[in-house]
Amino acid sequence: MGGATAIFVFISGYFYERVYRRRMNTRTLLRQRLLLLLPPYLFISLVLIACDLEPGVRGTVPLAGDPVQGLAVLLLTGTTGPAMWYVPFILALLLFTPAFARFAVAPARWQLAVLAVLLAISIVVPRHPNMLVANLLHFALYYAYGIFWAVHRKRLEAEVRRPIVLLLLALLLAAAAALQYAIGMAGDPGALRLLLSARDIVVVRKLILIALLMGLLLRFCRQPIAPLCALAELSFGLFFVHQPVMLGLVRAARVFGYRGEPWSSTLLLWVLTVALSIAVLLLGRGLLGRRARLLLGA
């Protein structure tokens, strides 16, 4: 649950304002997302459970004796797999669409005030894969941040693409990372530690990172890049499919006794996971056509 989740939530907020707010009400948007997310979520969850992949995640949730009730708890909490928590989280976040719609049309000063409050909440309430309310409180900042960017995109995009601003953001990001490392070291007391913690800096660092990425994309990627467009088209399915693929590879490595350097093993795992996941999605599309979206998400 690193910075990638914050970026995904930011993108969701950005596209909500750019694409959906004027076209759909809360009920329509939620219905569309349910139809889009639930079928592959249920299918991949059942695959993970049937193959007994990632039992450690499911073991973090106390289950009732009834298997049906236990399955319902797993699905509602998103603990069927390592990243499945995101589905019930994002669906729950969409229930607050009326509040976000009001935020989108509020004056800029009120939007900044709301972002400041959400920043404080995000710092105080850490993210947790099994705690829906905590995740809503923590990640609401990034969703609102995405809406804010979309509302004020012309002014913000004109600024962040400037070389001096990009350099400043890069320096701020490096400084935040260094500060996070310094105050996050165990046994390193000091006056600064009384005011800040490494978790506080993480939230600020992610906001800076998002602004920097937006600036870099605007400056250097003005035209669509074909490989990235193809990957983006499959990204929704990759989210679902990569989980059983990755966990299956980890199990295979243990069975065959593979031992390698930590960095090389991690790199190899991710390369194989992405390659095999794309292959599964393309094969599914070839065999099932549009119905592949119901099972695999793409």
Q: Which residue has the higher pLDDT, 175 or 262?
A: 175
Sequence letter at residue 243: Q
Indicate if the pLDDT at residue 164 is higher than 90.
yes
CB 82 within 8 A of CB 57: yes
Ramachandran category for residue 85: left, alpha or beta (phi over 0 → left; psi -120 to 50 → alpha): alpha
Among the listed residues 211, 208, 140, the one whose alpha carbon sits nearest the alpha carbon of residue 180 = 208
> Is residue 149 within 8 Å of 111, Cβ to Cβ?
no
Q: Is the pTM of this model over 0.85?
A: no
- What is the pLDDT confidence band of residue 168, given thresholds at 50, 70 and 90? very high
**Rounded distance between C-alpha atoms, residue 102 and residue 36, angstroms:** 25
pLDDT tens digit string along 129-163? 678 888 899 999 999 999 999 999 999 988 988 99
3-class secondary-structure state, position 234? helix
d(CA 252, CA 229): 32
DSSP 22: T
The answer on pLDDT for 38 being more than 70 is yes
What's the CA angle centered on 46, arms 42 and 51, to 5 degrees?
Answer: 155
The tokens for 264 are 């090389």
Q: How far apart are CA 109 and CA 282, in angstroms?
A: 47
Q: Give the residue carrying structure tokens 């299956």.
A: 248
Residue with tokens 């983006």: 232
Query: Tokens for 49?
Result: 């459970």
Residue linked to tokens 């995904």: 8
- Residue 2: pLDDT over 70: no
Return the structure tokens found at 203: 């939230």
Express each pLDDT in 180-200 by its tens digit.
Answer: 677 654 334 443 433 444 456
pLDDT tens for 71-108 read 777 788 777 878 888 889 998 998 999 999 999 999 99
Is the pLDDT at 227 greater than 50? The verdict is yes
Average pLDDT taken over every residue of the chain: 81
Q: How far is CA 289 from CA 216, 231, 285, 293, in A?
A: 36, 18, 5, 8
Percent of the chain with pLDDT over 70: 82
Instruction: Report whether pLDDT(61) > 90.
Output: no
What pLDDT sits at residue 194?
38
Name the nearest CA neighbour of 94 among 82, 83, 86, 84. Answer: 86
The one-letter amino acid at 131:
M
